[in-house]
Chain A
């Protein structure tokens, strides 16, 4: 336990924090005149990866999805795995800010802002992949129902159309939730900004927020309503993602287990991402007074809890295949644990089942390095899990003649790396220009802790 946390280890904010100190620290981070060397280097790296994604998209538009390794029988691979992975990472952000708000968990306060930002950026990145995967991405707007000269409408019975609406609703609702949450803090930045440009910029973004008592009342009602909408929304969105698969008739996909299994997996990878982003944020920006060891500890517990549900689903899948006794299901299971992609399955087990067991120890839950490493392992494991779910069911058909392996190309890896770059770029811009912690919530938390 570091020195700062030894003092009042159970307090949700370091003792002695005042509204003025919180505003000075957090607003100071957003208003600092220069980003600092580490930030510039990280942004350059993220820009380079984003440029790779841009080049990839250009090549894709010119040459088509054939630049990826997808073919018959494996017609879905990296792009769909990337899509599911990113939208899943977004889920935990909504869960931290909305579900923990509804259940009155004050420890979420310092985590909610960056977790919500993570959601907005992850969903934005994920939404690119289904569009790029369409074959003719420039016609993606055909998915939207609008009266057109062709006289055709979307196929409402298709899970892919449901997906379009799910992503659209999720992206817009999380954007609104994020922006509304930022309003009072943007007002603080407006009032603290030293240069005219920043005063005007933040002033316009703050929409003239003044913090009047009746405004706050409407604002809090709105926060409750939005949180109440966001929680069922994220569950429905990820269930919709799962239905893309379980509506299909392939062994390994056609399962009622999929929606809850996907939701648990989404929370699992999202909490892992919250740790992977939170640990450096806390260290590099000196936010140890706000994101304390107790917060890391609770996040780690959430990773463990969600991970155990995911592990249970793995066991349930194996059990159902054996218990049901369907020949194709059993063959799919045998191929998963011993087939061409067995290494993926066993890596997934190593990352998502074995590595998280370390989190049972309180010492591990309070060790930044260990948490970061486990978070990265879980993220890798969850990406591979999506790859496994998609490719395992596709590479072996019902007939021996329809078997074919998937070979990733350079562009498959480029899109994956580029999407990570784009996400990091958005996140780096966020930590540079916007308050990384919710200042008004922390002021309230500090007042409550001082009173207690």
Chain B
């Protein structure tokens, strides 16, 4: 397969240690565009596969501020501007009483912001993806540890990769079409 036709080269192992060894070897050989698919999060991958900021916290903050301040603004508008009623001499803008709903909406919108940031950042939902074409990939959500060197990597060469990873005895190895 030509480089521009290939999504990447997939190799899979049955244990996390082998995947980490292979990843270190690939990085030493100069490969940078590598994805790792694991059945559970591995702490070591945070170091070995650096990523840009994930924005989840930021969107939680933005959502929280929008929800909380937006609710306060709505309460102020409705109780002090749009429909003011004098009840027992209480001020129209009774801000201590306005806090509980604002607090709840802050939590709700912060959570919403964070969830959306995760989904958008991970490009989900995406029901089809080239890695699903690999027959072994179904086990990546169970007990298989999968590496994919992307075709976009400047050093990409399937034959060279196969030779490089062969000593580590991957359980599966194949090239993926785009």
Contact = CB atoms under 8 A, between A and B. Distances in A.
Contacts of A214: 35, 49, 51, 54, 122
B142 A188 contact: yes
B153 interface: no
Contacts of A154: 78
Interface in B1-47: 16, 35-42, 45-46
B154 interface: no
Residue of A214, A233, A240 most packed against chain B (CB within 10 A)? A214
A236 interface: yes
B119 interface: yes
Interface in A214-229: 214-222, 225-226, 229
B140 interface: yes
Nearest 4 pairs between A and B by C-beta? A207-B125, A191-B138, A153-B78, A216-B41
Chain B contact surface mostly: helix
Interface string B87-120: 1001000100110110111011011101101110
B36 to A, nearest CB: 4
Nearest to B77: A153
Given A187-B141, A208-B127, A220 B41 contact: yes
A433 to B, nearest CB: 18
A152 B83 CA distance: 7
Nearest to A171: B108
Given A204-B127, A208-B127, A217-B51, 8 more contacts: A213-B38, A213-B41, A214-B51, A214-B122, A217-B46, A219-B122, A226-B111, A447-B16
A166 interface: yes
Nearest to A438: B40
Contacts of A184: 40, 141
Contact of B49 (A153, A213, A447): A213
Given A156-B75, A229-B60, A19 B40 contact: yes
Interface stretch (A99-107, A157-165, A260-268): A157-165
Interface size class of B (residues with CB under 8 A): 35 or more
Given A165-B100, A180-B118, A191 B139 contact: yes
Given A188-B142, A221-B56, A226-B111, A236 B124 contact: no
B79 interface: yes
A165 B104 contact: yes
Contacts of A211: 37-40, 140-141
The range of chain A's interface size is 35 or more
Contacts of B133: none
30 contacts: A18-B143, A19-B40, A19-B142, A20-B142, A23-B142, A27-B142, A156-B94, A156-B98, A168-B108, A172-B108, A172-B111, A187-B141, A188-B141, A191-B140, A207-B126, A211-B37, A211-B38, A211-B141, A212-B122, A213-B46, A213-B49, A216-B40, A216-B42, A216-B45, A218-B122, A233-B107, A236-B103, A240-B104, A443-B40, A444-B40
A440 interface: yes
Given A226-B111, A226-B114, A19 B39 contact: yes
Contacts of A440: 39-41
B82 interface: yes
B171 interface: no
Chain A CB within 10 A, most for which of B42, B115, B126, B129: B115
A207 B124 contact: yes
A145 B74 contact: yes
A161 B75 CA distance: 12
Interface string B143-170: 1000000000000000000000000000
A23 B140 CA distance: 11
A196 to B, nearest CB: 14
A207 B119 contact: yes
A47 interface: no
A156 B97 contact: yes
